[in-house]
Structure 1
Amino acid sequence: MSIARLWAGHPAPDLDESSVERRSHIKETVQHESRVRGIRIDRLTPADLADELERVASLGAGSLPHLRALWRKATARAIALRHIAIDPAIGLPLPKPASAPANRVYKNGARRPLNNSLTDAQLVTLREEVKVRHPQQRLDVGDLIILGSYTGLRINEANSLRWEDVHLGDERSFLIVEGQVYGSGTDRRWEPLLKRESSRRMVPLPPAAVELLQARKERAAAARRGAKASDPALRFVFPTQSGGVPDTVTARKAVRRKLDRAGFPWATFHTLRRTVERQLMDASVDPRVIMAVMGHDPATSWASYVDHKSVDVDVAARALA
C-alpha cells in the first residue's frame, strides 16, 4: 500500500527503526535507485515500467518476475483506491536475457565456441576417436557420427536412413533423403515427410563414406542371416541395439556421450553439418551446390534462380574426398 500511496503523490511514512526486527538469517540485498519511484502513479505509463525493467535487467540486479509482481500489487491497490482506472503494469513483458553464442553453455557444462565447426585436424582426430567402443556404451554411434562428418546430414536424417536410400556404385555413390522416422516407443515408423521440401535431396558420398557403408551393410547381413527383408535390422542403416526401428532420442544421447568421450564436449552432431559446409565453402564450391547438398531452404536466399535439379552435386563429393 505504501508504494501505491507514494506513486499517488503521498509522502512515505517515517520508518521507526526501533520497531524493525533484525533478521540475521535473511540475506542482505543491495538497494538500487528506481527511476519510476518519483513518478505519480496516475502519470505512470507501461513504457516507463518497460524501460525500468530493461535497466534493471542490464544491471543484473534482482528477480524481474518478482519486481513485476510487486508493481502489479501496487497498481492493483491504486486501482482499488481509485487513484487510476487503467493498470499500467498489466501484460508487461519481461526482457529476454541477452546471450551471445560464445557465452552459451551446453547441458554437459561445455561452452559453445563462436565458430562451432571443426578444423581439418580436429576432424581427423574425431573420426579416429569415435571408433573406440566404450564398454559401457550399449548403442555404438561411431559410424553415425563419421557418416555425418562426410555428408552434413541432420541427425534425424542420418539416423532414419534406409538401405534403399543408399546407392553404392563403382563410379557414383549417393544417398537419397526422402523422409525420416517419427513417433516414440513402439509407435516409431518411417514416413516420407520432411520439415521442408528443400530437405528432400540427393547427397553425394565420398569414397571413405562409401567404404564405411559397404562394411556396415555386410556386417548387418551377416548378423541377420536368414531374417526377412522387412526386418528393421536389415531395412535401416542405423537400427536400435535390439534391431528395431531407429530411435532418435536414444541416438542423440548416445552421440552426446560418444563426443564427450572422444574429447569434444563442445561439439554436437550439428557441428559436423557446419564443418561440411565450411569445407565446401573453403573449396570454392558453387553456393547453389552447397544449398542443394545441405538441404537449405531456397526461400531464404537464392530464391529466384536456385534449382536443385540443375546443379552438379557430385562436385561436393570431390571436394570432401
Structure 2
Amino acid sequence: MRKRHQKGSLQLRKIGGHKVWLLFYYENGRRRCKTIGAASKQFTKSQAEKAAQDILTVVNGRIAQTQEQPLTFGQFVSDVYLPFCKQYRWKKSTTMTSEGRINSHLVAAFGSRELQSLRRQELQEFLESKAAIGLSFSIVDHLRWDLRSILELAAEDGHIERNPACSISTPRRAVAGEKKVMTRENVATAIRALEFREALIGKLAIFCGMRPGEIFGLKWGQVANDHAVIRQRVYRGLVDTPKTKRSVRKIGLPPGVVTDLASWRTVSRDTGVDAWVFPSERSTTPLSRDNLWRRNIQPKLAEVGLGWASFQVMRRTYSSLSREAGADRKVVADQMGHGIGVNLDEYTITSLDQLTAATVKLEAYLLETAERPKEVL
C-alpha cells in the first residue's frame, strides 16, 4: 500500500522555450503535475524545493485524513471505478449493461464492506452462490471479471496491498446454455413466416451476418449496389460507434437481399443519404429492435415452431451455414467483423451431419490405406 507521506518529484522542464519547475506527485490514485514557477536567478532550485515541500505538506495531509476513513467497496465503485471506466474504457452500450450489473450484484453484496476486508474465499463463494441460484454462465463470468477489474484498480491506487480476486474462477456449475443454430429448412420456414420488412431484417442477420444494432443503424447512404458500409450501430435507442474496430467495415450483400432492399426503398418515405433504412414511425429515429422483435418477429416464429430463435441465433446461423456451404473462414470472419478465432469458437457450430461426414471420410481413408497391397520390391 502506498505510504501516506510522499516526497514527490521536482523536475526542470523546458516548456515553450522557457525552463519551468514542475512537481509530480500522487493523489487519489492518479499522478498529478503542478507548475512551481519559472526557473531564474530569482527563483532558484532551493526555492523551488521549498515551494514543492509546502504543496506536498498539504497534499500528504489530505491523503492522511482520507485514509483515516476506511474506503468501502461501494464508495470506491461509485467514486473511482465507474467514473474512470465511463470516461476512458467503456462505450455507452457497455456502460448501460455493466453499471447495472455491478450495482445490482456486487455493490448490493459488498457495498458496505471495507476494501481491505475482502478475501478470495468469500469472493469465490459469492460466485458459487450466484451459479447455484441459476444465473447464466455469461452473467456469472462477467461478475468474476468485474470483481477482478474493480479490485485491480483498487490495488493500483494503493487502497489494498494485492488483488484478492486474481485467482477466483467461474464456477463449474455455471453451465453455458446450448448455442443453437437454425438449419437450412428452419431459415426457409422463418423467412416465409415473416412479413416483407421483418423478413428483410432476418435476411440481413442470417444471410449477411449483421448484428441487430448494425441493421437498425443502417442508413440509405451506406447501402450500395452490392455492399453496405457499417459506420454506426443502435443499442437500446442510442446511436453509437460500432462494437469494435473490426466492426467498422464493408459487408457484401447477396443478389436476393439487394433486390429486397431496392423494393423496400421504393416504399420508404425518406430515402435520403441520412435517412434510416428501417425508421420508426417518426422517421427521425431508427426502429426499436426490442419492440419489433417482441411484436412482429417472435410471435410469427413461435407459430412455426421457431420461438427459440433470436438475433444471436440468426447471426450464429450465418457463420455455421457459411462454413457448411464451403465459404472461406477468413471471409466469414471479416463479414461479421470478428477475428477468425472468435468466429470459429463462439459463432460457428458444427452440425451432426458434418461430424458424421468427417468420421466417414477418415474411416474410408484408413480402410483404403490398410487394404492397399504392399508394393513388391
Q: TM-score scaled by structure 2? A: 0.43
Higher strand share: 2
Higher helix share: 2
Structure number with the bigger relative contact order (C-alpha 8 A, sep ≥ 6) is 1
